[in-house]
Structures are given as structure tokens and as C-alpha cells.
């Protein structure tokens, strides 16, 4: 047994859904257009089992209408054996309507056929609406002359159909031959049959907590107790819904000290992995606020998270366990608070021809213990095994070949180079552990330049200058082998005519 509630335009959003959820958790909210063109809202709910609480169907309908009236809502109520019949009846008949299960087709026979266009979109039955184009006949559908599709409402009017009973009485085989499977599905709706089981609409959940303070606070230590008090219920809510926090939002409402004081100090933390541990979330928020403190006392604290499905972890005895995302996130937050947000992470290549250019990215190692259900199939496992065998063969073949690597210095080391015939002849390096001497062999120069349109050329001899790939460079590079067998990568900054050691070839 199903019921339907209908209210015309002007009903507050979610009001009908709140009334329906007081009676049944299995509710379906749908937005549709009323018959007269005005926006309306209707709700369908499963009433199975409510007879023991309220009595027969008419008593349940009266209780639904009375509950809505207590909230200031004027609604229509219809109860039938199928939710399609209930929705069609509630849109056409005002007041309270109750029909016995099994009599849906007879009750709907006198209703206008235009009601089908109102409920079709929300049923997700993939049927053509009254404004959609459907073929008139199979011969017209097969033809390529461009005259084979008319609006469905025009087809019904040409056939002389005015009510749902007229459509329900047509032979199903002949209707399928002219309109296909869509025509048969429309006929089932006209008879009051449901196209699919009821799929309950889940209410929108907001994972947030807020607290108004009796006295403004200025220090982080009392703020930590407030954040801990808010994170505990937030973490419990995430755990009940099997969700994790992907982004943590902290909003601090400030006391207006002067006209320049902002009203809200907002911070958002992008978490590397879904987590819901209250202590970890509090620690991450405090470390971020330590680096970005609020400019005025706080009188209200709000925390919210963007939820995401929880992690599925399957531990293995054959792989080394990685630190948990909670511990790793806390460690990275502490390091960023000490060194700065842009000085801690993983190096990543950038789209630049500048030698040694890189950028700092969030440190997020791949955890092989996390199960990805999308790719956990025999087909993908076979592909991975095949690829791993290829990699092993390639690795075995590459081990026999000598490998060369350039070990770059984080900051190029100044050097003194004597040049003869436009080639390095002698290299002197004032750095312990690096030996210079006469050049036995050299290759170069390789001239590279760029970024001159974006700023001043880079000065490598300034070790405290931040590394940025958006700074111009202009240099000649050499590979030289000095006495003793050590091979260096040298370059000459053409703008300053100074030499530097860029790295060692191992």
C-alpha cells in the first residue's frame, strides 16, 4: 500500500518530505510540473505496516493530512495499491482519496491522459514525455524521408484518446507495433502499474558542528578544547554513515575590533586520504591555525567536512606496512608548520625546459593495502600479472647494462674555471669533498635559455633564493672529466659570466 502527498506552488522546500518521513522512512520525493503549469511538489511513501499504528487506509490518510495541517500545509492525500496510481489520483482529485488494492485501473480510467506527462520524468522510466518525439509507425520509423516523428500528444489526439482508460483498453500488441516498447510502458502507467520498485530518497545530510562561546577566546590552547568538543560528534556521525572526511572546513566568527577586522576567518584543509579520527582532525586544524592565526578574538566556531566513502583496507603479510594516513597527515602538518606550506612534500617535474626545475606536491604515497573494487577483477589481475612478468624480463635485461646518473646539487656550487680556446682547461672547487684539477676530457657546450619574458635571470650563487621554474635562465653547459676520473656537469651563466658545478655524473 502506497500513499502520495501533493501541494501546490509556494510550499517550502522539504516540508512535504518531513511530513512523510514522520510516517515512513521509505519515501520518494519528486519535482514535477502541475497540470496548470505551476510548479508543485509531491511525495510518495510506502505505508506497509502502518495499519497496526493508525488503523485502516482512510485513518492513515486522515492522519497524514492532519499532520500536514499542523505545519501550515494544505495538501492532497491519495492511497492506493501502487504508487503510480496514488500519484495520478493525488494530482487530479482534491482532498482525500482512498481506493482498494486491485482496483487501480478502474479508478484511473476517467482521468485525463495528460497526467502521464506530469509524473513520467520523476519515475525515471525512460519514456517519452508529451513534448518528446516518437515514431508514428514502424514504416515511418524505417523511412529516411524526414516525416517519421510526431509529438506523442498529437498521436494520441489523432487516435481519439482522451482518458487513461482509452489508452489502457488498446491492444498491447498493436500498441507495441506502432509505438514500440515505450508505448507499452505508457499503457502500463495508465493502468496504474509501477515501472520499478520504490527507491527511497535519502535526506541530504550535513556533516557539520557549531558552538557559540560565552566568552571570546584568543589563544589556541582553549580553542583546542572547543575543537575537540566539536570533532567528537562529527567523527561519530561519519562513522555511523561509513564516511570519511575529504576536506575539513573551519570557520571562526571573530569579534569586530575595528573596521578592518573580517567577520569570519575560514580555513579549508585538503586531506590526503579519507579519515574520521577526531584527534587527528583536531590536530590538523590546530596546526593549520598555528600557521594562519585569526586576527581577532573568536566568539563562534564552526567545523564541517566534505564526506566521501570510507577506505577499505586489506592488510597483506607480504608487503611492508605504511604509516596510517592519520599519522602521516599529522606529521606533514607539523613539518609544514615549521618549514612552510611550500617547503614540504614530494618533488614533481614541471612543464619546463629549465634544468632541474621542479615543484613541491603533496606527499601521498600509494598504499597497496587499500582495496580498489573497480579494478579487482580476474581480468585485471591477469593483466597485472602479465605486465609484471614483462617488467621482470625488462629489468633483468637492463641490469646487465651500465647506468649513468647525474646527481644534481640542490644549489649549484660556485667554481673557478680557466678557459683555453673556448673550452674549460682547469676547474677549482672550494667545497670539501669535491676535487678539482686539470680537465682531461670535455663535451659541450650546450646552450639553453628561456623564461626571459617572465622575470630577471636566476642567480644561482644566492642559496636562500627560492627555486622557481618561472625565472629566466641563460647558460652554457659542459660535461668535464678532471684528473682523478671525476666527471662534473658545469655551466656558465652568460649574464654574469660565472661558472658553477651543477652536479656529478655517477
Tell me the CATH number at 152. Answer: 3.30.70.270
In a domain, 349, yes or no: no
Compute the average pLDDT of residues 91-119: 83
Rounded CA-CA distance 300/405 in Å is 56
Same-domain status, 298 and 429: no
Q: Quick one: residue 4, left, alpha or beta (phi over 0 = left, psi -120 to 50 = alpha)?
A: beta
In a domain, 390, yes or no: no
CATH assignment of the domain containing 256:
3.30.1490.100
Rounded CA-CA distance 137/33 in Å is 29
117 contacts: CB under 8 Å, gap ≥ 6: 129, 130, 131, 153
Would you place residue 42 in the very low, low, confident or very high pLDDT band (cuts 50, 70, 90)? confident
Same-domain status, 228 and 182: no
Rounded CA-CA distance 160/164 in Å is 12
Print the domain residue range for 219: 208-312
Rounded CA-CA distance 292/247 in Å is 17
In a domain, 195, yes or no: no
Same-domain status, 113 and 255: no
Rounded CA-CA distance 239/117 in Å is 42
- For 427-457, letters b (16+ CB in 10 Å) and e give bebeeeebebeebeebebbeeeeebeeeeeb
Is residue 87 pLDDT above 90, yes or no?
A: no
Q: Considering the chain, what is the average pLDDT of its residues? A: 76
Q: What is the structure's pLDDT at 370?
A: 56
User: What are the CA-CA distances from residue 93 to residues 32, 65, 76, 111 (Å)?
Assistant: 17, 14, 8, 9
Q: Taking a C-beta distance cutoff of 8 angstroms, is the pair 26, 45 a contact?
A: yes
Q: pLDDT, tens digit, for every residue of 119-155?
A: 655 554 434 444 334 443 333 333 222 223 455 656 7
Is residue 397 pLDDT above 60, yes or no?
A: no
Compute the average pLDDT of residues 363-385: 49
Rounded CA-CA distance 272/252 in Å is 23
Same-domain status, 33 and 180: yes
Q: Taking a C-beta distance cutoff of 8 angstroms, is the pair 293, 220 a contact?
A: yes
Q: What is the structure's pLDDT at 138?
A: 38
Q: Which residue has the higher pLDDT, 51 or 396?
A: 51
Q: Taking a C-beta distance cutoff of 8 angstroms, is the pair 328, 284 a contact?
A: no
Task: Provide the grid cell at 130.
Answer: 508529451
Compute the average pLDDT of residues 385-396: 44
In a domain, 318, yes or no: no
- Lowest-confidence region among 33-42, 176-185, 189-198: 33-42
Q: pLDDT, tens digit, for every residue of 229-264?
A: 999 999 999 988 888 888 899 999 998 877 777 888
Compute the average pLDDT of residues 358-379: 59
Q: Taking a C-beta distance cutoff of 8 angstroms, is the pair 149, 204 a contact?
A: no
Rounded CA-CA distance 427/482 in Å is 8
User: What are the CA-CA distances from residue 54 to residues 17, 51, 57, 64, 215 (Å)?
Assistant: 20, 5, 8, 10, 49
Is residue 364 pLDDT above 80, yes or no?
A: no
User: What are the CA-CA distances from residue 437 to residues 415, 441, 476, 479 (Å)?
Assistant: 11, 12, 20, 14
Q: Taking a C-beta distance cutoff of 8 angstroms, is the pair 487, 479 a contact?
A: yes
Residue for cell digits 486491485? 102
Rounded CA-CA distance 492/457 in Å is 13
In a domain, 243, yes or no: yes
Rounded CA-CA distance 139/256 in Å is 75
Choosing from 190, 218, 252, the residue where a domain stops is 190
Radius of gyration of the chain (CA): 36
Would you place residue 100 in the very low, low, confident or very high pLDDT band (cuts 50, 70, 90)? confident
Rounded CA-CA distance 32/122 in Å is 7
Choosing from 254, 282, 312, the residue where a domain stops is 312
Q: Which residue has the higher pLDDT, 55 or 376?
A: 55
Would you place residue 192 in the very low, low, confident or very high pLDDT band (cuts 50, 70, 90)? confident
Same-domain status, 175 and 257: no
Rounded CA-CA distance 303/226 in Å is 10
Choosing from 141, 164, 190, the residue where a domain stops is 190
- Lowest-confidence region among 301-310, 438-447, 450-459, 480-489: 450-459
Rounded CA-CA distance 481/442 in Å is 6
How distant is the alpha carbon of residue 472 from its chain centre?
Answer: 37
Same-domain status, 101 and 184: yes
Rounded CA-CA distance 168/258 in Å is 73
The contacts found for 193-199 with CB under 8 angstroms, 24 or more apart, are: 193/82, 193/84, 193/104, 194/82, 194/83, 194/84, 195/84, 195/123, 195/125, 196/123, 196/124, 196/125, 198/2, 198/26, 198/28, 198/44, 198/46, 198/83, 199/28
Q: Taking a C-beta distance cutoff of 8 angstroms, is the pair 282, 248 a contact?
A: no
- Closest by CA to 192, choosing from 85, 101, 78, is 85
Same-domain status, 74 and 214: no
Same-domain status, 305 and 453: no
Q: Which residue has the higher pLDDT, 370 or 74?
A: 74
Is residue 32 pLDDT above 70, yes or no?
A: no
Task: Provide the grid cell at 192.
Answer: 496504474
Q: What is the structure's pLDDT at 10?
A: 67
Same-domain status, 180 and 281: no
Total domain count, the chain: 3
Same-domain status, 109 and 251: no
Q: pLDDT, tens digit, for every residue of 205-226?
A: 788 999 998 888 888 888 999 9
In a domain, 489, yes or no: yes
Amino acid at each position: 500500500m502506497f500513499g502520495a502527498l501533493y501541494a501546490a506552488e509556494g510550499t517550502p522546500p522539504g516540508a512535504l518530505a518531513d511530513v512523510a518521513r514522520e510516517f515512513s522512512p521509505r519515501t520518494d520525493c519528486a519535482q514535477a510540473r502541475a497540470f496548470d503549469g505551476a510548479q508543485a511538489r509531491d511525495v510518495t511513501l510506502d505505508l506497509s505496516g502502518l495499519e497496526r499504528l493508525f488503523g485502516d487506509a482512510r485513518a492513515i490518510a486522515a492522519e497524514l493530512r492532519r499532520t500536514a495541517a499542523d505545519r501550515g500545509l494544505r495538501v492532497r492525500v491519495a492511497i492506493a495499491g501502487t504508487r503510480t496510481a496514488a500519484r495520478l489520483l493525488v494530482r487530479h482529485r482534491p482532498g482525500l482519496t482512498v481506493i482498494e488494492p486491485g482496483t487501480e485501473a478502474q479508478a484511473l480510467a476517467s482521468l485525463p491522459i495528460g497526467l502521464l506527462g506530469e509524473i513520467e520524468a520523476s519515475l525515471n522510466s525512460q519514456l517519452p514525455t508529451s513534448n518528446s518525439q516518437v515514431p508514428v509507425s514502424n514504416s515511418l520509423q524505417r523511412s529516411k524521408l524526414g516525416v517519421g516523428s510526431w509529438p506523442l500528444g498529437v498521436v494520441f489526439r489523432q487516435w481519439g484518446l482522451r482518458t487513461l482508460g482509452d489508452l489502457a483498453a488498446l491492444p498491447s500488441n498493436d500498441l507495441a507495433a506502432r509505438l514500440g516498447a515505450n508505448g507499452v510502458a505508457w499503457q502500463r502507467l495508465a493502468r496504474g502499474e509501477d515501472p520499478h520498485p520504490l527507491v527511497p530518497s535519502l535526506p541530504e545530510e550535513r556533516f557539520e558542528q557549531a558552538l557559540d562561546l560565552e566568552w571570546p577566546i584568543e589563544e589556541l590552547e582553549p580553542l583546542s578544547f572547543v575543537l575537540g568538543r566539536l570533532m567528537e560528534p562529527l567523527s561519530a556521525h561519519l562513522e555511523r554513515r561509513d564516511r570519511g572526511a575529504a576536506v575539513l572546513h573551519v570557520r571562526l566568527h571573530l569579534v569586530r575590533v575595528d573596521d578592518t577586522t573580517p567577520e569570519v576567518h575560514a580555513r579549508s584543509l585538503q586531506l590526503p586520504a579519507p579519515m574520521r579520527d577526531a584527534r587527528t582532525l583536531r590536530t590538523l586544524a590546530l596546526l593549520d591555525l598555528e600557521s594562519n592565526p585569526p586576527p581577532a578574538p573568536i566568539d563562534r566556531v564552526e567545523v564541517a567536512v566534505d564526506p566521501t566513502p570510507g577506505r577499505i583496507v586489506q592488510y597483506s603479510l607480504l608487503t611492508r606496512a605504511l604509516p596510517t594516513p592519520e599519522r602521516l597527515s599529522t606529521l606533514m602538518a607539523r613539518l609544514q608548520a615549521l618549514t612552510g606550506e611550500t617547503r614540504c612534500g614530494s618533488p614533481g617535474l614541471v612543464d619546463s625546459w629549465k634544468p632541474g626545475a621542479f615543484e613541491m606536491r603533496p606527499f601521498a604515497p600509494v598504499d597497496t593495502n587499500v582495496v580498489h573494487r573497480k579494478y579487482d577483477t580476474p581480468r585485471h589481475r591477469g593483466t597485472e600479472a602479465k605486465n609484471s612478468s614483462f617488467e621482470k624480463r625488462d629489468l633483468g635485461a637492463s641490469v646487465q647494462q651500465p647506468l649513468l646518473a647525474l646527481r644534481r646539487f640542490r644549489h649549484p656550487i660556485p667554481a673557478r674555471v680557466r678557459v683555453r680556446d673556448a673550452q674549460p682547461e682547469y676547474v677549482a672547487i672550494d667545497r670539501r669533498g669535491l676535487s678539482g684539477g686539470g680537465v682531461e676530457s670535455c663535451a659541450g657546450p650546450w646552450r639553453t635559455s628561456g623564461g626571459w619574458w617572465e622575470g630577471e635571470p636566476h642567480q644561482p650563487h644566492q642559496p636562500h633564493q627560492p627555486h622557481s621554474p618561472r625565472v629566466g635562465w641563460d647558460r652554457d653547459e659542459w660535461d668535464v672529466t678532471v684528473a682523478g676520473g671525476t666527471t662534473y656537469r658545469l655551466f656558465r651563466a652568460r649574464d654574469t659570466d660565472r661558472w658553477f658545478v651543477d652536479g656529478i655524473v655517477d
